[in-house]
């Protein structure tokens, strides 16, 4: 692992790669170390391994005070997201353009051609400290999304 | 490694049972369909200029990444839990 890091730094020193490319390579190296059993990234960061989605919904069932609480707890490995994004890179350009048009028609302005593994690493890095809480008081639904 | 087992737990006030589902049997059962689909997939890869070995590798990686997925649903006193191992 150390020899790989040294090799990247040597390549940077020789000008074979730019500082951005070296940064990505080091980040990828850290991710590989994490998937091989470790949890620490290049800067000693703890990399999240799972995406957790918690949903709590309370449904009224007619009578006063007669409510059923439904809880859903989903744990998705972030490795699955990475694999999905890599697979998405195989989507032909024409097909991805169709997807973009369909997304735009639904009000989602997003270019799936920009969905690349290196961008996903940045996203996951940001998700590490992010928790999304949705509390819909009218329908009594609580959604919580976070990485762990 | 593609997932080989699924752990299913169902709990009700009256009973609780846990079932280990052998997913490797599902893969074996799907193998003939996979072999039938292979030539069509190869043609599609040739048409869209996709490296079939890369596609196969990525598909395998996607399957392998499913391991560790957990889904738990609880409603009233009924609890269902599925874990892919």
- pLDDT, one tens digit per residue, over A98-137 is 989 999 998 888 888 887 777 777 777 777 777 777 777 7
Tell me whether A93 touches chain B (CB under 8 Å).
no
**Is the pLDDT confidence value at A64 over 90?**
no
Residue B1 falls inside a structural domain: no
Please compute the mean of the pLDDT values over residues A23-31 and round it to a whole number. 68
The model's confidence at residue B29, banded by pLDDT at 50, 70 and 90, is very high
What's the total number of domains in chain B? 1
Mutate to test the interface with B, among A31, A35, A70, A90 (most CBs of B within 10 A): A90
Is B75–A71 a contact, with Cβ atoms under 8 angstroms apart? yes
Q: Are B63 and B56 in contact (CB under 8 A)?
A: no
User: Domain limits at B32?
Assistant: 8-84
Calculate mean pLDDT across residues B5-11.
94
Q: Which of A77, A96, A148 to probe by mutation at the B interface, max B CB count within 10 Å?
A: A77
Specify if B46 maps to a domain: yes
Residue of A nearest to B53 (CA): A90
pLDDT of residue A38: 43
At B75, list the tokens: 């409603």
Handedness of CA B15, B18, B21, B22 (dihedral sign): negative
What confidence score (pLDDT) does residue B66 get? 93
The ipTM estimated for the assembled molecules is: 0.81
Only one residue has tokens 């074979």, namely A16
Q: How far apart are CA B23 and CA A61, in angstroms?
A: 38
pTM (2 decimals)?
Answer: 0.67
Strand A141-147 with B5-11, pairing: unpaired
The pLDDT score that the predictor gives to residue B10 is 94
Whether B69 maps to a domain, the answer reads yes
User: What's the rounded mean pLDDT across residues B62-73?
Assistant: 93
Percent of chain B at pLDDT above 90?
62
Residue B72 lies in a domain: yes
Q: Is B39 contained in some domain? A: yes
């Amino acid at each position: 692992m150390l020899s790989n890091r040294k090799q990247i730094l040597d390549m940077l020193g020789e000008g074979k790669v730019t500082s951005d490319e070296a940064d990505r390579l080091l980040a990828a190296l850290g991710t590989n170390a994490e998937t091989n059993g470790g949890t620490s990234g290049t800067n000693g960061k703890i990399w999240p391994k799972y995406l957790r989605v918690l949903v709590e919904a309370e449904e009224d069932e007619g009578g006063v005070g007669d409510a059923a609480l439904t809880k859903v707890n989903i744990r998705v490995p972030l490795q699955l997201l990475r694999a999905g994004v890599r697979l998405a890179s195989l989507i032909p350009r024409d097909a991805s353009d169709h997807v973009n048009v369909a997304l735009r028609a639904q009000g989602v302005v997003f270019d799936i051609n920009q969905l690349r593994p290196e961008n996903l690493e940045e996203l996951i890095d940001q998700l590490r400290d992010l928790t999304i809480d949705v509390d819909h008081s009218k329908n009594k639904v609580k959604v919580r999304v976070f990485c762990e | 490694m593609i997932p080989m087992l699924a752990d299913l737990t169902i709990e009700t006030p009256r009973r609780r049972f846990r079932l280990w589902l052998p997913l490797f049997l599902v893969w074996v059962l799907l193998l003939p369909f996979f072999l039938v689909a292979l030539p069509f997939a190869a043609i599609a890869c040739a048409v869209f200029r996709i490296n079939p070995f890369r596609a196969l590798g990525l598909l395998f990686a996607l399957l392998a990444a499913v391991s560790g997925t957990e889904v738990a649903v609880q409603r009233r006193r009924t609890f269902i839990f599925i874990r892919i191992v």
